[in-house]
Amino acid sequence: MGLQIKNGRVIDPANNIDSVQDVFIERGRIAALGKAPAGFTAKTQIDASGQIVCPGLVDLCVRLREPGFEHKGNIATESRAAAKSGVTTVCCPPDTNPVIDTPGTIEYILERAGEVGLAKVAVLGALTQGLTGKQLSEMYGLKRAGCAGVSNAYHGINSQVMRRAMEYAASAGLTVFINAEDASLRAGGCMHEGQVSMRLGLPGIPECAETIAVARELQLVELTGVRAHFCHLSTAKAAQMVANARQEGLPVTADVAVSHLFLTEMDIGFFDSNCRVKPPLRTQRDMEALRAALTQRSISAICSDHQPHDVDAKLAPFPSSEPGISAIETLLPLSLRLVEMGVLSLPGAIACITSQPAAILGLDAGRLSVGGAADICIFDPERQWDFSEAQMVSFGKNSPFIGWEFTGCVTHTLLDGKPVYQRSE
């Protein structure tokens, strides 16, 4: 009573697999690769000729907007967007409302995600209660409730509390996820401080708002021994600092948001609020350095930093529009574009959106190991399509990539062996 995916090119970077073979699935798990296991009968077959079969994508940062911001999206709408995008695990940061600082909130989110059943959700707990940067959250309790790590999102935290929080997280065996930004240097900034902010008269966020924060956290990681992950680095310098720290053996990793690999401050043009994002889009030089950091593996994951918004959030003068891009649906196609551009090999790109982010989260996901959950993405690498608002599934249509032409399109997404998305036509 199984499912057989036939004739696809199976790419599973974690297991070093890249060859045309069949995948056999039974009871939601991968039963075998290549040859059918004894007694296997295929109830269903998917013909994946000419297609790529890879682990379901693992996205390190997806705002589901639930609880608290349901006018921007919810677990159902954004899980559906994930399924359409080949993403089977999404990690949601703790800045919901209420903040994810109690086991109850984690349980609520995991239960809702389970009911919806279109994507698995990993949850980051709050590093401090209410993200206020004062009192540590009950990290052991959050861990027991299933959180994958802890983070204070973009809420500032002073050096002393950060040190204690890292020490405590290290004791609890939790990874600290860091959005590196010095809040006082950001001040009222709404875009990168540079030529374009000068021209547009928009308050800028200087490069050092990121590098100073990264420098402090690296010192504290060294002091406390905590495992730390830097979320969405935006500057060349910060990427270099993290690369150096990794070389020195510090237990740190970093990701980059996919939009930062294709857009710069210039794309804001005359105040395009869809290009307002946190951290801000930086310079061409920064963008190229972030790509190079992927090539050199000092940044090991690409995430969507998905932030769906209601229409009104962007319908305002630039400084009062809300930051964020509805980006999950562009994660795979833009990552494939990096392959086309020679930044990454195809297995390298797939690793950046599957096994490597899974490793950062400490999850047994993002790979096609026999016996493991059959979370699988099948995509047609040749298929060209235009990204339009009409076909966006996410509740948020706030994407600066609308109108871009992509090559590579998800045809099937399987979650625990169950089809949760199938391209129709």
Specify the residue for token string 């050199």.
296
Considering the complex, state which of residue 20 and residue 200 has its C-beta at the smaller distance from other proteins.
200
Pattern 104-143, other proteins, x by CB under 8 A: ----------------------------------------
Among residues 316, 382, 384, 389, the one that binds other proteins under rule CB under 8 A: 316
Q: For this structure, is 386 an active site residue?
A: no
Q: How far is the CB of 401 from other proteins (least distance, A)?
A: 11
Cβ nearer to other proteins, comparing 173 with 269 = 269
- Among candidates 371, 420, 422, 377, which has minimal Cα distance to 28? 371
Residue 399 CA, chain-centre distance (Å), reads 16
**E strands of 244-389, at which residues?**
252-257, 301-303, 376-386
By the rule CB under 8 A, 183 interacts with other proteins: no
Size of the site for other proteins (CB under 8 A): 25
Interatomic CA distance for residues 395 and 8, integer angstroms: 32
Q: 190 vs 328, which CB is nearer to other proteins?
A: 190
Tokens of residue 315, six digits: 């319908």
Binding track over 202-241 against other proteins, x by CB under 8 A: xxx-x-----------------------------------
Q: Which of 18, 222, 267, 416 binds other proteins (CB under 8 A)?
A: 267
Q: Are the C-beta atoms of residues 8 and 378 closer than 8 Å to each other?
A: yes
Instruction: Count CB atoms within 10 A of the CB of residue 381.
Output: 16
Question: What is the Cα–Cα distance from 213 to 98, expressed in whole angstroms?
Answer: 26
Among 315, 340, 386, 389, which residue sits at the site for other proteins (rule: CB under 8 A)? 315
Instruction: Report residue 359 as tokens.
Output: 């490793």
**Contact of 265 with 282, CB cutoff 8 Å:** yes
Rounded to an integer, what distance in angstroms lies between the CA atom of residue 294 and that of residue 351?
A: 11
The pair of structure tokens assigned to 349 is 């790109």
Residue 198 binding other proteins, by CB under 8 A: yes
Question: What's the min distance (Å) between Cβ of 306 and other proteins?
Answer: 22
Q: Which of 200, 292, 393, 402 binds other proteins (CB under 8 A)?
A: 200
Tell me which of 12, 22, 305, 380 is the catalytic residue.
Answer: 305
Instruction: Give CA–CA dist 252/229, Å, rounded.
Output: 6
Q: Residue 187 CB, nearest distance to other proteins (Å)?
A: 8
Instruction: Establish if 272 lies at the interface with other proteins (CB under 8 A).
Output: yes
Count of other CB atoms within 10 angstroms of residue 286: 24
Residues that bind other proteins (CB under 8 A): 193-195, 197-204, 206, 266-267, 269-272, 312, 315-320
Active-site annotation, residues: 305
